[in-house]
Amino acid sequence: MSAPPQLPELVIRALRMSLERGYVQASRSETGRLLATLAATRTGTIAECGTGCGVGAAWLRTGAPKQTRVITAELDPELAHGVMDMFAHDDIDVMHADWTSLAEHAPFSLLFLDAGSAKGAPREDIIELVEEGGMIVLDDFTPCPSWPPLDQGRVDRVRQEWLSDERFVSVDVMVAEDTSVIIAVRR
Ligand SMILES: C[S@@+](CC[C@H](N)C(=O)[O-])C[C@H]1O[C@@H](n2cnc3c(N)ncnc32)[C@H](O)[C@@H]1O
């Protein structure tokens, strides 16, 4: 088997910031590669809820066409300003704000829900943020072969509801042995 492709420079920078700050919530590379691949199909504006140290935004920027805007919102002021400085010349717009403030820049062609409150938000609110054919991505699910999906012995309601909502065409993609990602495309 050949070696996995090298990490993009932007991603390395963001991972370095995560390491320096002891930040352990950064997106994993398997998820990042999926984000970059999806972003490569997107025009318009891509948004991320919960910037962290910028790893997800770095993958999105790396994959997206040059003309596609990438915007990300982070509630924690130190993280938001740290990432703003880090990406000052990289065409990634970082907001220090609650993710709900992203609405002023909607509709999005891809929306990555990576803050707990965004993942649990009513789908009625989320659907308004994406254009028709737009994608919503949610990560960090535990792979499960059964239906309804279980997590630690209980029905995983968030996943069940996203996968059953008729307004979306959706799929649960196992990106690694221990993690899966939902991609939901607005019909
Ligand atoms: C899972 S981490 C994000 C990881 C990042 N997206 C990545 O790809 O590495 C979740 C982040 O959401 C932020 N957050 C939590 N609530 C938020 C909110 N209401 N609005 C914006 N960001 C929020 C947290 O401070 C945390 O940094």
Q: Using the predicted structure, report yes or no on whether residue 4 has a pLDDT greater than 80.
A: no
Region 63-68: what's the mean pLDDT? 98
* Whether 102 contacts 115, CB under 8 Å: no
Task: Establish if 146 belongs to a structural domain.
Answer: yes
Classify the phi-psi angles of 28: left when phi > 0, otherwise alpha if psi is within -120 to 50, otherwise beta.
beta
Task: Establish if 2 belongs to a structural domain.
Answer: no
pLDDT at position 128: 97
Q: Give the structural domain span for 140.
A: 9-186
Question: What is the CA(95)–ligand 1 centre distance, in A?
Answer: 12
Q: How far is CA 20 from CA 17, 78, 80, 82, 163, in A?
A: 5, 13, 15, 11, 37
Question: What is the CA(79)–ligand 1 centre distance, in A?
Answer: 9
Number of domains comprising the chain: 1
Domain of residue 182, CATH code: 3.40.50.150
Per-residue pLDDT tens digits for 122-149: 999 999 999 999 999 999 999 999 999 9
Task: Establish if 3 belongs to a structural domain.
Answer: no
Task: Establish if 120 belongs to a structural domain.
Answer: yes
Confidence of residue 5 (pLDDT cuts 50, 70, 90): confident
Q: Using the predicted structure, report yes or no on whether residue 108 has a pLDDT greater than 80.
A: yes
Per-residue pLDDT tens digits for 68-101: 999 999 999 999 999 999 999 999 999 999 999 9
Region 52-76: what's the mean pLDDT? 98
Cβ of 82 less than 6 Å from ligand 1: no
Task: Establish if 4 belongs to a structural domain.
Answer: no
Q: What is the mean pLDDT of the chain?
A: 96
Task: Establish if 1 belongs to a structural domain.
Answer: no
Question: What is the CA(118)–ligand 1 centre distance, in A?
Answer: 9
Identify the sign of the CA torsion 86, 89, 91, 96.
positive
* Whether 121 contacts 44, CB under 8 Å: no
Q: Is the peptide bond before 145 cis (omega within 30 degrees of 0)?
A: no
Percent of the chain with pLDDT over 90: 97
pLDDT at position 67: 98
Cβ of 100 less than 6 Å from ligand 1: no
